[in-house]
Amino acid sequence: MTISQLPSPFTFSQSSLQDYNDCPRRFKLRYIERLLWPAVETEPTQDYERHQQEGSLFHRMVQQNIIGIPAEKLSVMANSDNLSKWWDAYIQHKPDLNGYTLYPEYTLSAPLGEHRLVAKYDLIAVKPGERTIIYDWKTYRKRPRNEYLAARWQTRLYSALLERAGNHLNGDALILPEQIEMVYWFSNFPIEPASFNYNKEKSQRDWDLIAKTIAEINTEKEFAMSEEERPCKFCAYRSYCDRGIKAGEWDEFDGEIETEESFEIDFEQVGEIAF
């Protein structure tokens, strides 16, 4: 019998699944050994950190606006060129969600075997019985290709989990996959959102992949380093892996900046269902 190295219960998020996908060793260092940020991920660090702070603040401003604080009051928080540009873009091009009930900064969770799945949504917009739209605000400097986003764990997990764990947002009725849409809204490209409609086939495919991946992680022994070295350039663990000591250049960085918030989940506030 293989003894799992994974703590149990383990909470799987899109970040941890994506880390496993990109590099099993990174998953092990981050989530099993819990080595936190031993090295900067890009140089110069100030640019990286500033973008991280601006991204967090932008998310907070949007969330506050959605719960009813007027945009004019919030605009004083836009205290940098980036924030001011993103905020203007949001005000001019924010989605029209008239008629929807809005759940900003909402976390859903569901057990899966001995473990648990969790997703923290920037916004879930619901017209009960008709349509549910997941919004995710992105402050990417480059607009990723739709094919790249479609294959990301975030796109798969967020739609799949909403379908299984979001009934209470839908008047306690089942959410059909065909009623789900996921939209990435880009603060730097406000008129080019990426939208993905869900359906039964995608749902089946995603749940199969979720089960397969979690079973694989459960019995994983090696947690091998990624074959490609590209992810190492922007990885905090490169010195552990002898994959260089210098961080990748910020100008070349096209990934997502992880904010600490991504890891902070208050399960008291989480809607969880058994299935």
Using CB under 6 A as the criterion, which residues of the chain lie in contact with ligand SF4 when the complex forms? 23, 25-26, 29, 225-226, 231-232, 235, 237-238, 241, 243
Q: How many CB atoms sit inside 10 A of residue 267's CB?
A: 11
Question: How far apart are the C-alpha atoms of 127 and 53, rounded to whole Å?
Answer: 33
**Distances, alpha carbon 162 to alpha carbons 31, 94, 120, in Å:** 24, 22, 11
Q: Which is nearer to ligand SF4, 161 or 235 (CB)?
A: 235
Smallest gap from Cβ 156 to ligand SF4, in A, equals 21
Q: Which is nearer to ligand SF4, 223 or 263 (CB)?
A: 223
Q: How many CB atoms sit inside 10 A of residue 186's CB?
A: 22
Smallest gap from Cβ 29 to ligand SF4, in A, equals 6
Question: How far apart are the C-alpha atoms of 88 and 93, rounded to whole Å?
Answer: 8
Smallest gap from Cβ 107 to ligand SF4, in A, equals 27
Question: How far apart are the C-alpha atoms of 161 and 62, rounded to whole Å?
Answer: 23
Q: Which is nearer to ligand SF4, 25 or 120 (CB)?
A: 25
Q: Which is nearer to ligand SF4, 252 or 268 (CB)?
A: 252
| Sole residue written with tokens 């980036």 | 82
Q: Which is nearer to ligand SF4, 177 or 231 (CB)?
A: 231
Largest interatomic CA distance in the chain? 61
Question: How far apart are the C-alpha atoms of 62 and 181, rounded to whole Å?
Answer: 20
Q: Which is nearer to ligand SF4, 23 or 180 (CB)?
A: 23
Smallest gap from Cβ 262 to ligand SF4, in A, equals 18
Smallest gap from Cβ 26 to ligand SF4, in A, equals 4
Exposed / middle / buried, residue 194 (Cβ in 10 Å: 0-12, 13-18, 19+): buried
Smallest gap from Cβ 40 to ligand SF4, in A, equals 13
Cα(first)–Cα(last) distance of the chain, in Å?
A: 27
Q: How many CB atoms sit inside 10 A of residue 195's CB?
A: 12
| Sole residue written with tokens 């569901």 | 110
